[in-house]
Structure 1
């Protein structure tokens, strides 16, 4: 079940934090609760993605995006994710999530996040391809960037981010069409 109470607490907490520039990093503090864990007593990979979402929502509040979403009746969506898990997070362990905009293109904003343990080790790292949507269509990022008041140039993405974006552009959609068609032709 989605942790709505935790989300509400997170959003209230973010309203008390100072405003930030959209290009500044956001750091949020979290704790792994037993309900976050799987049968191996480590944070469940699905819950990790949910806690990353809370970090993005907090950043959205601090940079003024949350108010803009309400004002313009926009929504947020995730259009792709690449995640790497490296260290376990166990019950009652505290950690921080670091969130920053990696770059954007004409359609998507790429957000990089990491979960860091108390000893500084990175437990997981993720890149999200996100969009702001209006009436089920992506809002062009130049419109979003202007609405946020960003005048700085687009951040130059790291090589691995550029490579991921390029690789995603080659990925077929809908998926597995070729394999399904091949099976049908073999069965005929």
Structure 2
């Protein structure tokens, strides 16, 4: 199934999976399809990130955030994401994608997502999102009332609190010339 079809399926079926509270994980049951496979015969690492997008869409709809975001014309954008792989997902293998808000800081919200088979974590991702309104960031102190929720306690992992410091790129309003490698220098 093409990614666009999976997005449409996720949107159309989210309500059937039931609502979730802001501190509860949303579970999405998926299967590794033939077009998810890479040359090594398992799910492609880029597909994990695409499936994680589906999990966050599912979480936002089922938690009620999606409607509030649309009403206020606020959109989430990914600032950073990292994935740790433990075991591969094989062709046609069923798995659960569990998505939960892990915490937040002044400007961003962190979403933890796990790919699970038989109660065992196969891969895990942490995604740092920023919410924008008319191209400008919405700080979390304004975001929570906008969404109409009392946020759960922030459980942002300690290692993620300074996550952006070492890899931050200049603001889109600033110049960012592409120089010679090494790029991280």
TM-score (norm 2): 0.86
For 1:72 and 1:17, the matched residues in 2 are separated by 25
Give the superposition deviation at 1:120.
Answer: 2.1
For 2:133 and 2:108, the matched residues in 1 are separated by 14
For 1:3 and 1:172, the matched residues in 2 are separated by 29
Larger radius of gyration: 1
The equivalent residue for 1:163 is 159
The equivalent residue for 1:7 is 7
User: After TM superposition, what 4+ stretches of structure 1 lie above 6 angstroms from structure 2?
Assistant: none
Per-residue deviation, residues 85-143 of structure 1 (Å, max 9, x unmatched) = 111101110000111111111100001000001x2221100100012111222211112
Q: 1:93 to 1:152 in 2, by over 3 A?
A: same
Q: Give aligned pairs, total.
A: 176
Larger helix percent: 1
Cα RMSD (Å) of the superposition? 2.3
Which ranges of structure 1 fall in alignment gaps of 5 or more residues?
184-188
Q: 1:65 to 1:151 in 2, by over 3 A?
A: closer
What does 1:128-143 align with in structure 2 at a 5 Å threshold?
128-143=127-142
